[in-house]
């Protein structure tokens, strides 16, 4: 996986010591999708509420604006056009009949995509490159199955999930994910691909995984990866919904393979045996592919 994805295996280091004007409070806000904009009436800070269509803005200062811009260049997703990245992504998706869409337009993945994609596809250049780099490292079978038919960027969702979602064969990356921290986008993208993966598992595989999951619940033996939320919150998050555990395990398997294997070896015997079953089944579902 790309180095930016591999970075998910380590805690999210603070940039406050290195970015002028960045405080712990501002860093937390920026990493959770808040931004500072310059308007005719002055500076304002805010953004969508948990990724939803409603937003709240309040007065900000010039210093906060410059701190945001400095942070954005280091950790944010900066809107930019990148025709080569779009072409690479579309070519990859086209080989597996996966559609790409945005909040302003839809386009079937073309086998010979045109660089001049027009405004609807113009602003997601860095994201196109990140997605192509991730998808290129997955087994081709993961892109070719009916549970992954479309990838959508931008907009908001009608459901409770406002940062990202998986629904009816579509990976949905909402504005919250596309305009926040790059690390958050990468984590969410792999998590939602994990839902496409778990939706493709047959009943026998799900039964094996669910039996192991019940043991892991009793042992409280889950991995936590820090993005959007802290590692402990993401670890607890898996305790409540089996499907979320499977999606998060897909993320851990791909982004943190070496750490996952080391962690499994360190669990007490009962938890280790359950994780050995989970890992072996995931490895088989990846056609034997393992990640660093």
Q: pLDDT digit string (tens) for 4-41?
A: 999 999 999 999 999 999 999 999 999 988 889 999 88
Question: Phi then psi for 248, rounded to 5 degrees?
Answer: -70, -35
- pLDDT at position 159: 62
Q: pLDDT digit string (tens) for 106-148?
A: 554 443 333 333 445 567 888 999 999 999 999 999 999 999 9
Q: pLDDT digit string (tens) for 69-103?
A: 999 999 998 888 888 999 999 999 999 999 999 86
Residue 122 corresponds to which tokens in the numbers above? 């113009």
Look at residue 99 and give its three-state secondary structure. Answer: strand
Q: What's the whole-model pTM score?
A: 0.90
Is the separation of the CB atoms in 267 and 219 below 8 Å? yes
- Mean per-residue pLDDT, 248-274: 97
Strand stretches in the chain, DSSP E: 35-39, 42-48, 55-59, 99-102, 105-107, 150-153, 164-167, 170-173
The DSSP secondary structure of 13-62, one letter per residue, reads ---TTTSTT--HHHHHHHHTT-EEEEETTEEEEEEESTTSS-EEEEE--H
- Strand 42-48 relative to strand 35-39, pairing: antiparallel
Whether 157 has a pLDDT exceeding 90, the answer reads no
Whether 104 has a pLDDT exceeding 80, the answer reads no
Residue 153 corresponds to which tokens in the numbers above? 């960027």
> For the chain, what are the domain ranges?
3-75, 83-194, 201-285
- Give dist(CA 56, CA 167) in Å, integer: 27
- Give dist(CA 70, CA 17) in Å, integer: 13
- pLDDT > 70 fraction of the chain, expressed in percent and rounded: 89
- Give dist(CA 124, CA 185) in Å, integer: 12
- pLDDT at position 121: 59
- pLDDT at position 112: 36
Q: pLDDT digit string (tens) for 212-236?
A: 999 999 999 999 999 988 999 999 9
Is the separation of the CB atoms in 137 and 6 below 8 Å? no
- The overall average pLDDT reported for the chain is 89
Q: Which has the higher per-residue pLDDT, 255 or 104?
A: 255
Half-sphere exposure of 285 (CA within 13 A, CB side): 26
Q: pLDDT digit string (tens) for 240-256?
A: 999 999 999 999 999 99
């Amino acid at each position: 996986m790309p180095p930016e994805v591999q970075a998910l295996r380590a805690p999210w280091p603070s940039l406050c010591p290195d970015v002028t004007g960045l405080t712990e409070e501002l860093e937390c806000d920026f990493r959770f999708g808040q931004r500072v904009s310059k308007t005719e009436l002055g500076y304002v800070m805010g953004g969508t509420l948990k990724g939803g269509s409603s937003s709240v803005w309040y007065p900000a200062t010039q210093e906060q604006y410059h701190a945001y811009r400095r942070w954005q260049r280091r950790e944010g997703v900066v809107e930019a056009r990148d025709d080569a990245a779009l072409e690479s992504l579309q070519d990859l998706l086209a080989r597996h009949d996966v559609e790409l869409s945005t909040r302003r337009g839809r386009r079937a993945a073309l086998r010979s995509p045109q660089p001049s994609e027009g405004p609807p596809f113009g602003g997601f250049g860095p994201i196109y490159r990140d997605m192509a780099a991730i998808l290129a490292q997955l087994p081709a079978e993961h892109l070719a199955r009916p549970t992954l038919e479309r990838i959508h960027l931008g907009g908001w969702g009608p459901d409770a999930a406002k940062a990202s979602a998986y629904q009816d064969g579509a990976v949905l990356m909402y504005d919250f994910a596309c305009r926040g921290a790059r690390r958050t986008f990468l984590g969410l993208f792999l998590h939602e691909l994990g839902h496409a993966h778990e939706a493709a598992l047959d009943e026998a595989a799900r039964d094996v995984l669910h039996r192991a999951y019940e043991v892991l619940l009793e042992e409280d033996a889950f991995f936590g990866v820090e993005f959007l939320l802290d590692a402990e919150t993401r670890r607890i998050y898996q305790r409540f919904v089996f499907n979320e555990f499977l999606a998060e395990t897909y993320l851990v398997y791909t982004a943190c393979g070496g750490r996952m294997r080391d962690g499994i070896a360190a669990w007490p015997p009962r938890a280790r045996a359950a994780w050995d079953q989970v890992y072996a089944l995931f490895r088989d579902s990846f056609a034997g592919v393992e990640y660093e």
